[in-house]
Amino acid sequence: MSRLQTCLLAICLVLAGFPAARSSETTDPALAAVLAARSAEDRARDAYRHPAETLAFFQVEPGMTVAEGLPGEGWYTRILANYLGGDGTLYGVNYPERMWPMFDFATPDWIAQRSASTARFPAEVATFTDNGISARGFTFETVPQEATGTVDRVLLIRALHNLNRFEPRAGTRTRALAAVHSMLKADGLVGVVQHRAPETASDTWAQGDAGYLKQSAVVEFFRNAGFELVAESEINANPRDLPTGDDVVWRLPPSLRGSEDNPERRAAMLAIGESDRMTLLFRKTP
């Protein structure tokens, strides 16, 4: 995106009531303090993941109820748990248990660990902060009644590709987005960060198996699920990531899959950095 296009997008967002993401110089001091207090390992990813700008774009604020899709190892959870504060609520929304055995590399131990991580979510949050934030873990298919219609923001950060890859087989994406729709308040928003496939890529390759999805496809998924796109940003874009049909997203950092014993390839992947990512904001339609 050119500088002119970026400026025009920022103007459009402000006119539409969706402020452009703040620069690091204008980050909420509370969020800046949370980001600065993290480990060096977590902070090393900021240059690619832009958490201050991304959370500002998603209009996340202290005291909100936020549902984080696929918390994983907790990179964003550690930020959210501390930033939302004691008046906030954080839900960790995992893939449904029936989905874990669908991964071709799944072992019984791995499946058990993934399933157990859902119930462990509150205990994990308690190791990240002692601010008293309310936390609960559940899956996209076990949303508790008390969460229905109560969530201010749902964040789906690098979580959609696996839901989509198993959609033909098990309807996983459709059911997950229906759950997201049910969780949100009437004025709630969904923030999406997702590995982005080139629009010229093969539809078969860009279905999620390689980690990438087309931005046009993601917008269509949400439209069909009862949402409208209200803003988009290039905050997490990386023009150096130009994947082809032979590439998977995990070739890049931090995974660097396939370059463990190849220093030259590893250097090339590090030079690219993390993936090119779309950053989208949706709200549910009445």
- pLDDT digits 0-9 by tens, 148-195: 999 999 999 999 999 999 999 999 999 999 999 999 999 999 999 999
For residue 170, count CB atoms less than 10 angstroms from its CB and return exposed for 0-12, middle for 13-18, buried for 19 or more: middle
Digit-coded pLDDT (tens) for 21-58: 444 457 899 999 999 999 999 999 999 999 999 999 99
What average pLDDT does the segment 8-24 reach? 43
Extract the tokens encoding 155: 């964040």
Digit-coded pLDDT (tens) for 99-124: 999 999 999 999 999 999 999 999 99
User: CA 80 to CA 236: how far, in whole Å?
Assistant: 18
Answer whether 116's CB lies under 8 Å from 139's CB.
no
More confident residue, 173 or 286: 173
Angle at 181 between CA 175 and CA 183, to 5 degrees: 105
Q: What is the CATH classification number for the domain harbouring 79?
A: 3.40.50.150
Q: Report whether pLDDT(20) > 50.
A: no
The confidence score (pLDDT) of residue 25 equals: 53
Domains in the chain: how many in total? 1
Question: In sequence order, which residues have a C-beta less than 8 Å from that of residue 23 and are 6 or more positions away?
Answer: 53
The confidence score (pLDDT) of residue 52 equals: 98
What average pLDDT does the segment 69-81 reach? 97
Structural domain of residue 66, as residue ranges?
A: 3-284
